[in-house]
Amino acid sequence: MEPLVLLNALATRLLFALHSLVGVWRVTEVKKEPRFWLLALLHLPLVLETALTLKRRRGRGYPGFSPAIFFYLISIVPSLWLLELHHETQAKDFVNNLSTVCEKVWTLGLHQTFLLMLIIGRWLLPIGGGITRDQLSQLLLMFVGTAADILEFTSETLEEHDVRNNPVLVYAILAIWTWSMLQFPLDLAVQHFVCPSSVAAKGFISLFLCQYSADLWNIGISLFIQDGPFLIVRLILMTYFGVINQMLVFFAAKNFLVVMLQLYRLIVLVLDVQASLRKQPQSLKGEESFPSQPRESRLSPSTRDSETTEAATIPLEDFPGTAECC
């Protein structure tokens, strides 16, 4: 089993490196400058992480966080930034030819395969001690929906002509897109921890954070990393810049519903913890009103009868003094 774990760990990281090298190659092709091959130096953290993981952890992952995926993001995201900014420059110059179309197809293909590699790579990577197979399956299902929304966000917003002609908007959209990618190395949204009984005595905050840690991570990721920022960008595009189309309105409404549902979920969790804290003093008062009884009174009648019968059937022993008197 251990050789298979090592093979999966090494093969997955090789796939990450090869895919990011394709991105570096595309940058050198569209820029026509060999110096962009220096982007390959961004693979050094991934190579170092691979060596340390294979040697110290025998290929096993880390609890709560995946360094391999994080360093994969570091190696490929700059290439995608340069490709998108190159298209923005072409849009300013009104360059419309076959090579431009092919470059857009290549960039879109890199975006699509990038998200697929994140999901498949997370599936193939050996799991660590902090996550189970069941939790991993839940995480992968979450990633599938997340990847679809992220891909739609970049393709739908950056394809707008008004957006391409505004460098500030392009940088802002790419920054939000990069920020949304930081959720993929995290496993905390599906990890449930067992709370000790002493946590309830520490107060509301301690019990709330311990009992619903996974739900809070899920809500936080949705509000602050994905749906919340996506909603803000789409609302700014529609209200301030006047960019309105059917898909933009639909996904803005979708992000708004997700944000509202996550806030509703947060309120439900808060009320649940408050209700559990109110029940604890009542249970303690109930125990004080019925103090513990002696052991004999807690025995059932049949148990007491059996003990009395056993005591009655015990034979009397002859004492030496009695025998001599007789």
With H, G, I as helix, E, B as strand and everything else as coil, classify residue 220.
Answer: helix
Residue 134 is encoded by which pair of tokens? Answer: 């069941």
Give the single-character DSSP code of 159.
Answer: T
Q: pLDDT (tens digit, 9 = 90+) per residue, 130-182?
A: 788 888 899 999 999 999 999 989 888 888 888 888 888 999 999 999 999 99
Q: pLDDT (tens digit, 9 = 90+) per residue, 104-127?
A: 888 999 999 999 999 999 999 988
Say which amino acid occupies 221.
Answer: I
Determine contact, residues 265/215, Cβ cutoff 8 Å. Answer: yes
Q: Tell me, what's the pLDDT at 213?
A: 86
Residue 229 is encoded by which pair of tokens? Answer: 């920022």
Count how many residues are written for the chain: 326
Smallest CA-to-CA distance from 227 within 270, 273, 179 is with 179
Please report the beta strands in the chain, taking only residues with DSSP state E, as ranges in sequence order.
none
DSSP characters for 5-41?
Answer: HHHHHHHHHHHHHHHHHHHHHHHHHHHT-GGGGGGGG
Q: How many beta carbons lie within 10 A of that of residue 292, not counting itself?
A: 8
Determine contact, residues 273/204, Cβ cutoff 8 Å. Answer: yes
Q: Tell me, what's the pLDDT at 316?
A: 44
Q: pLDDT (tens digit, 9 = 90+) per residue, 271-309?
A: 998 888 887 665 545 544 545 444 444 444 444 454 444
Cβ contacts of 39 within 8 Å, gap of 6 or more: 24, 27, 78, 79
Residue 65 φ/ψ, nearest 5 degrees:
-155, 140
pTM for this one?
0.80
Determine contact, residues 266/218, Cβ cutoff 8 Å. Answer: no
Mean pLDDT across 175-191: 90
Enumerate the domain spans of the chain.
1-183, 192-284
Neighbouring-strand partners of residue 186? 65
Reduced 3-state DSSP string for 168-181: HHHHHHHHHHHHHH
With H, G, I as helix, E, B as strand and everything else as coil, classify residue 128.
Answer: coil
Q: pLDDT (tens digit, 9 = 90+) per residue, 22-61?
A: 999 999 999 889 999 999 999 999 999 999 999 888 888 8
